[in-house]
């Protein structure tokens, strides 16, 4: 019983870690795109 619970917990932790890593990658990618677009718009306005 205890072993099963620990196994489930470790699977949950691994899943959360994977989701967080993917999420951070997505955020950095979108941030990069946003900054380049923002710079292009700012330069175009000037």
**CB neighbourhood size of 1 (10 A):** 5
Say whether pLDDT at 46 is over 70: no
Residue with tokens 């990618």: 29
Range of the domain at 25: 1-46
Give the mean model confidence (pLDDT) for residues 4-24. Answer: 93
Between CA 38 and CA 27 the distance in angstroms is: 16
pTM of the model: 0.54
The pLDDT tens digits of the residues spanning 29-45 come to 888 888 888 888 888 77
Mean pLDDT (whole number) for 6-35 = 92
Total count of domains within the chain:
1
Q: Exposed/middle/buried for 10, CB within 10 Å: 0-12, 13-18, 19+?
A: exposed
**Confidence band of 17 (pLDDT split at 50, 70, 90):** very high
H-helix segments, 1-46: 2-45
**Tokens standing for residue 25:** 């990658």
* Total Cβ atoms within 10 A of residue 43: 8
pLDDT of residue 37: 87
């Amino acid at each position: 019983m205890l072993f099963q619970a620990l196994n489930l917990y470790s699977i949950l932790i691994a899943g959360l870690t994977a989701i967080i890593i993917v999420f951070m990658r997505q955020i950095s990618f979108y941030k990069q795109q946003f900054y380049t677009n923002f710079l292009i718009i700012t330069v175009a306005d000037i």
